[in-house]
Every structure is written in C-alpha cells, then in structure tokens.
A = this chain, B = another copy of it.
Amino acid sequence: MSRERAYHHGDLRAALVTASFELLAEVGLRRFSVAAVARKLGVSSAAPYRHFPDRAHLLSAVSGTAARDLRSAILAAAEEAGPVAADRLAAVAGAYFRYVVSTGAGLHVIYAAELYTVPDEGRREHTRALMDTVLELAAATDVPSYQQGVALVESIIAVAHGYTSLFAEGFFHRGSSTVDAVAGRAVAAAQALIRAESEPART
C-alpha cells in the first residue's frame, strides 16, 4: 500500500462490513480477522472497536447483511426461474451457490456457532426472513405436509452448501469446472430432490 495513513472520512462502520465481505471471499472464515479488515481499509487495528465491541459483533453485522442480500438473490433467481414452483425452489440452490462463491458468506457465516450468544435483533430478523422465504417457495410446490416441506428445504440447503464447500475447498478445480457449470449441477441436484419428493419411491 502506497496510500498515506489518514483518518477514514465517511461511514467506517459500513466500510468495515463491506471490507469484511471482501476478506471472507478472499481467505474464508478460517483466516478472517478484525486486524486484517482494518489493514484492508488502511485504518488502525483499534478503529473497528469504536464501532463493534468485539469480533463477534462485527461478524454478526456481516451475517445479517448476508442473510438480507442472500434472500434478495434468492427471490430474484426465483423470479427468473419462471412460474413453475419446482423450478423456483430449485433456483435457490443456484442462487446460494453463486452468492457464497462471490462473497464467502454462506450458512457457516450466517449461522456461525460463535454468533449464537450475540443478541443482535437485526441479524435474527434477517435470518428468520431468509428461512421463511425458502420455506414459502417449498410450500408452493405440491409437497404434502409442512414437515415434508421442511425436510425438502433441508436437503436442498444441504446439497447447495455441499457443492459450495467442495468448490471452495478446491475439489472441482482439477476438473476446471466453471462457477456456472457447478451452479448448474447444484440446481440439477435440487431438481432431483424435489422430483423425488413428489413421486413415490420404488421399493
């Protein structure tokens, strides 16, 4: 960095959240640190603590923002998928995959265990809204009961998260798969799960 150290003039709190997303996308949650976020913005390592009491509260703000933005991305993908409920629900897997690949902020961040004790109502509302949205997309299919809708959503989230994790871990890089290609396979897997739910299992 050749930039001179100077006061950050502007909304440092928002800038910290934005920079946190960039850092997560670059190095992942494992190597995320408040100090690195501060370095990224060219502010001192103490500055973030004026806006967040500790690391967990910064991550909580990131989690809430991620839940909100991910919900938007899912709604947009559902619209794009057309009128068929199964297609709209399957689109969740693709939207999730793309969002997490580009931001690094997946469910392991949004629902990180270290956040359970952080009483951030904003975050909790956004995460609730996110889950409600996905459950509504599932309810719009011909799934017979609420319980089965929950189980279906669970499996779709699992497969989307699985593809995302494997991709982040470098599992697909040897096969040189593109983001688009893997996103497509995640959607196809979700379609398969939805289809199986609506058809009798052969014994």
Contact = CB atoms under 8 A, between A and B. Distances in A.
A157 B165 contact: no
A170 interface: yes
A179 to B, nearest CB: 15
A129 interface: no
A186 B15 CA distance: 40
A55 to B, nearest CB: 14
Nearest to A158: B162
A111 B171 contact: yes
Interface in A147-203: 151, 154-155, 157-163, 165-166, 169-171, 185-186, 188-189, 191-193, 195-197, 199, 201-202
A159 B189 contact: yes
Given A111-B170, A113-B170, A155-B188, 9 more contacts: A113-B169, A154-B166, A155-B192, A158-B165, A161-B162, A162-B163, A192-B196, A192-B197, A193-B196
